[in-house]
Amino acid sequence: MFFTRRKKCPNCNKIQHITKESNWKIGVIGAPLPFVPIILNILSVPWLWICVISIPLIMNYFIILPYQLRFADEEQPLF
């Protein structure tokens, strides 16, 4: 669901494309997530605390993600 740039509308059965701005927002929000455990590990934070911090961050990302999606009828170029 999250890795394709087009979705089929359940109401009209047409293909809808994720907008360039929406795709950029999703990337900006999700890009730092893999680095959080690495940075916490470098700072010698115990693994239990790394899990306690990382799991809610990942859950929040997936909760926020549908609200950041915007669709257009035509596919937009990435750049």
- For 17-60, write each residue's pLDDT tens digit: 888 888 888 888 889 999 999 999 999 999 999 999 999 999 99
Closest CA to 17 of 9, 31, 5, 1: 5
18, burial (CB in 10 Å: exposed 0-12, middle 13-18, buried 19+): buried
At residue 24, the pLDDT reads 86
At residue 78, the pLDDT reads 66
- Whole-structure pTM value: 0.73
At residue 27, the pLDDT reads 86
